[in-house]
Amino acid sequence: MSTQDTPQESCEPDKRRVADQAYDALEAMISTLALKPGAPIVEAELIERTGLGRTPTREALMRLVSNGLIVQQPRRGLRVSEIRLAEHLDLIEARRVLERLIAATSARRATPQQRQDLLACAEAMVCASQASDLTAYMSSDQALDHVNHAACRNPFAVSAVIPMAIQCRRFWYAYQHQGDMTEGARCHMELAQAVAQGEPEPAAAASDALMDYLRGYAQKVIA
């Protein structure tokens, strides 16, 4: 199995609402800079690119507006939000608190299947980092988040952290030349292992270590 196939086959849920598929597709376009910061949103173009219908695409766009990834400007319509370097470290510190809660809660509440899926996603990230395959790496990262968020069963924490996680992915794509996929994969693997073993305190510590990595990376970019 290739690293391109792994995240899709072993990590992604098999059945999702069409609106969720549309959201994931648009999120991926934003986070990978296929839709660049400041770019106008053309609904018909997005429908054609995703192959999904008008209603799920509109629902996805509204979710992205509420998450701050798309902004609505007077007389200019919808546009992709800008990357704000000065605010990124504050974003990571806010994300740290939520990710710590999610990790510890997932360690307590995850099903056996979810624990296996987390490990599979982390392993896919390791394989992608070894192959220097950024697309597979980021796809596996997104898939790991999906499993971890479902496992924690705390929709309030999840809804708050999702836009922060997407902003971090977009930041990575924008400044990937200063990133280290190997270290990132290692941090995610330690998190997945702690959750899979049902250890809340080590899971929280692993989450903190991941945020430390992201903060250090962001500081290099800003400097």
How many domains are contained in the chain? 2
Per-residue pLDDT, 3: 37
What would the pLDDT profile of 141-165 be if each residue is shown by its tens digit? 989 999 999 999 999 999 999 989 9
Tell me which of 58, 80, 102 is where a domain ends: 80
Residues 44 and 92 in one domain: no
Q: What is the CATH number of the domain that holds 170?
A: 1.20.120.530
Residues 60 and 93 in one domain: no
Q: What is the CATH number of the domain that holds 21?
A: 1.10.10.10
Tell me which of 80, 100, 117 is where a domain ends: 80
Pairing of strands 77-80, 70-73: antiparallel
Residues 60 and 152 in one domain: no
Question: Under a CB-based contact definition with an 8 Å cutoff, are residues 186 and 128 in contact?
Answer: no
Residues 57 and 156 in one domain: no
Question: pLDDT below 70 — which residues of the chain?
Answer: 1-16, 177-178
pLDDT > 90: percent of the chain: 68
How many angstroms separate the CA atoms of 223 and 207, rounded? 24
Q: pTM score, two decimals? A: 0.82
Per-residue pLDDT, 16: 63
Per-residue pLDDT, 74: 83
Give the pair of three-digit tokens for residue 71: 């902004």
How many angstroms separate the CA atoms of 76 and 28, rounded? 23
What is the 3-state composition of the chain as percent helix, strand, coil, each rounded to the nearest 5? 75, 5, 20
Q: In terms of residue numbers, what domain contains 30?
A: 14-80
Residues 144 and 68 in one domain: no
SS3 126: helix
Residue 2's CB is within 10 A of a number of other CB atoms, namely 11
How many angstroms separate the CA atoms of 53 and 112, rounded? 35
What would the pLDDT profile of 196-209 be if each residue is shown by its tens digit? 999 999 999 999 99
Per-residue pLDDT, 5: 40
The secondary element (H helix, E strand) that includes residue 34 is none
Per-residue pLDDT, 178: 65
8 part of a folded domain? no
